[in-house]
Structure 1
Amino acid sequence: MSLESYGVLKGKPKDWIYGTGRSPHFQILVYDGQMEHRIAVNVRSRVPPSELLYYVDEDFDHPVISRLESLDMGFHSLEDKKDMSLDYVRGGLFDVSSMEMLHHDISGPDNDLNEKIRDYVKAAIKTEGTVYAFGKRWGPDSYLQDSCFGFRPGSGIHDVHMNQGSTKKWKDADKPYHDGGLLIHLPEEKRWVALYLAFQSQCFVTDEVTGHCKEDTSGEAVVPGCLKHRKCTSAGTIRIVAALVDPSGDDPGLETITLINASPEDVNIDDWMIVDRNNRTSLLKGTIMAGAGAKIHLSGKGAQLYNKGGSISLFDEMGVMMHEVNYVKEDIRTGWMIVF
């Protein structure tokens, strides 16, 4: 099932809240002249790598502007309305290879995704600008007040990000011309700002009918997140071949995972991740030479190996799973490596 209730919410911004917590969303309060709505914008992914991809067009100019300006305030369904819908892949909106990764919460001023969105929303509030949020609608719900701003009836829009080329868990929401995003009209500055967001695990080569990650001629899925300027590594190139789950002595800093590069080329693993069964992560750095191995020492502060059994997953810098192994309690012997 594709994304339901896809459309655009047009309103005047009134307030905002930083995205925090385990699944942070930057919250925007807007008013359409009759009722209030909340726009929930993802600023962090729940799966590694957690940083979102973003692109901002500071002077957006596109034929869709005149169509949006003619809309009344409020929510408008865009089902089967390609001329007003967003599509990152085939809509000619921007060059997806220009998207960059950005963390939602970084120490210091004006340097993270929360603050970037905040600046545009504050500018719109100050100049009585208009926000156009593309995504999936919820509400109105007359029984519950809004969980962030307290208005009633609860109403809003979410999935304000790319909605195609998703991994298996979110694949059912894929559909062309159903992407989310924020367009902000700043009348005093006589310009429009466009903010586009995507998850690193998403694919940018998608099927024109389903929106799913497209398969190449060999029948293998195009690696999600391989943008034009990035060199991508095929799954299985780097493999997990062994793990010391129960070292002699205290575990922290002594647990190890052994990787091997099965390919004839050196592979850079900067920003790759080891992920355990509880989604704890350890960031990797360095290069594994062709045909060589590398022993990864776990500090105990990130990914951990559990003596009752678990899983070890290896993701590249774009969040694509390269290899995964599982082990059970019976596989574990103190001081011995488990060979996969």
Structure 2
Amino acid sequence: MPVKNYGVLKGSVIAGKPERNKHTPHYQIHMEGEDNIYYRVAINVLSSCEESKVLYLAAEEFNSSLFSLLPTLSNGFTRVDSTNKELAIDYIRSKLFDSAKMKPLMHHIEGPNNDLNDLIDNHIKKAQAEKATVYIYGSKFISKSKDYVFGFQPTNGIHNIHMNQGNLGKFYNDNGTFQDGCILIQYETIWVGIFLAFFCQSWCTDEDGNPIIMCRHNEVNLIL
């Protein structure tokens, strides 16, 4: 069963907030999608599987056919399904980047610019300062209550901003193809792609996104 409400949020950054001292920390982004409609983007920075590190890649001057499609979207959340499947992202099948270049990072290390919170924060703060257009791929959630991080109401949000296939255990039912999450930042003609995955996910999956065999991100090329 794939993740629910998969799609892409287009908007601008209002604020970014690292989390370090929580049981399940996320990097939180306050974004405006449609005029005066706000979203909280919750990015996993700690893995709950056997390896606590999260795999990370920031591809600068990133290039993709998506760049001719995404700017045509209206601000706000666009559901991605069979009617507009050309917008979907799949880390394995879309061949957007070399998975072997992803690096495992901890969410908190003493000092500047050396952990996952720091690196994401640098990109988000730059996007905010330069008023870049930001695209967040993941699953939409909504609550009538006040957002517990940024205080707006009702709470619109995006999560699952990472690879959503190759899972074992309790996240097995989230597996699916062409439903992976990521962050894309548009600086006029230059784009940056930020991709995240968990160490325990397999990069060899079937047509349902379920693991065929366990192969790590730096082993997939050897197997295929």
Same fold (TM over 0.5): yes
Task: Please state how far the C-alpha of 1:230 moved relative to its aligned partner.
Answer: 9.5
Pairing partner for 1:36 from 35, 38, 61: 38
Letter paired with 1:181: C
Structure 1 counterpart SS, 2:87: coil
Match of 1:73 in 2: 75
Match of 1:238 in 2: none
Once residues 194 and 213 of structure 1 are traced to their aligned partners in structure 2, the CA distance between those partners, rounded to angstroms, is 25
Letter paired with 1:225: R
Task: Please state how far the C-alpha of 1:153 moved relative to its aligned partner.
Answer: 1.1
The 5 Å alignment of 1:250-265 reads none
Once residues 43 and 22 of structure 1 are traced to their aligned partners in structure 2, the CA distance between those partners, rounded to angstroms, is 11
Q: TM-score, normalised by structure 1?
A: 0.62
Match of 1:197 in 2: 196
Contact 2:204 2:220 in 1 (8 A): no
Indicate how the Cα distance of structure 1 residues 184 and 226 shifts in structure 2: closer, same or farther if over 3 A, else same: closer
Contact 2:184 2:193 in 1 (8 A): yes
**Over alpha carbons, which structure has the higher Rg?**
1
Task: Please state how far the C-alpha of 1:168 moved relative to its aligned partner.
Answer: 2.2
In the alignment of these two chains, the number of paired residues is 220
In the alignment, structure 1 residue 223 sits paired with structure 2 residue 224: no
Structure 1 counterpart SS, 2:173: helix
Letter paired with 1:14: I
Letter paired with 1:93: L
Once residues 145 and 55 of structure 1 are traced to their aligned partners in structure 2, the CA distance between those partners, rounded to angstroms, is 33
In the alignment, structure 1 residue 103 sits paired with structure 2 residue 106: yes
Letter paired with 1:116: L
If asked which structure has higher relative contact order (CA below 8 Å, sep 6+), I would say: 2
Return the structure number with greater helix share.
Answer: 2
Once residues 227 and 71 of structure 1 are traced to their aligned partners in structure 2, the CA distance between those partners, rounded to angstroms, is 34
Once residues 56 and 121 of structure 1 are traced to their aligned partners in structure 2, the CA distance between those partners, rounded to angstroms, is 12
Q: TM-score, normalised by structure 2?
A: 0.94
Structure 2 counterpart SS, 1:83: helix
Task: Please state how far the C-alpha of 1:99 moved relative to its aligned partner.
Answer: 1.1
Contact 2:3 2:175 in 1 (8 A): yes
Pairing partner for 2:127 from 124, 127, 150: 124
Structure 1's consecutive aligned runs of 4 or more residues displaced over 2 angstroms after TM superposition are 224-232
Unaligned ranges ≥5, structure 2 = none
Deviations 1:110-143 (A, max 9, x none): 111101011111111111101111011001x3x3
Once residues 216 and 23 of structure 2 are traced to their aligned partners in structure 1, the CA distance between those partners, rounded to angstroms, is 23
Task: Please state how far the C-alpha of 1:226 moved relative to its aligned partner.
Answer: 5.3
Once residues 66 and 118 of structure 1 are traced to their aligned partners in structure 2, the CA distance between those partners, rounded to angstroms, is 27
Once residues 67 and 230 of structure 1 are traced to their aligned partners in structure 2, the CA distance between those partners, rounded to angstroms, is 29
Structure 2 counterpart SS, 1:121: helix
Match of 1:25 in 2: 26
Structure 2 counterpart SS, 1:131: strand
Indicate how the Cα distance of structure 1 residues 112 and 201 shifts in structure 2: closer, same or farther if over 3 A, else same: same
Letter paired with 2:58: V
The 5 Å alignment of 1:77-88 reads 77-80=79-82, 81-88=84-91
Match of 1:115 in 2: 118
Letter paired with 1:213: P
Unaligned ranges ≥5, structure 1 = 215-221, 233-340
Once residues 122 and 115 of structure 1 are traced to their aligned partners in structure 2, the CA distance between those partners, rounded to angstroms, is 10
Task: Please state how far the C-alpha of 1:167 moved relative to its aligned partner.
Answer: 1.1
Task: Please state how far the C-alpha of 1:79 moved relative to its aligned partner.
Answer: 1.5
Pairing partner for 2:48 from 46, 49, 59: 46
Give the aligned CA root-mean-square deviation in angstroms: 1.6
Task: Please state how far the C-alpha of 1:46 moved relative to its aligned partner.
Answer: 1.6
Indicate how the Cα distance of structure 1 residues 27 and 2 shifts in structure 2: closer, same or farther if over 3 A, else same: same
Once residues 4 and 46 of structure 2 are traced to their aligned partners in structure 1, the CA distance between those partners, rounded to angstroms, is 22
Once residues 34 and 151 of structure 1 are traced to their aligned partners in structure 2, the CA distance between those partners, rounded to angstroms, is 10
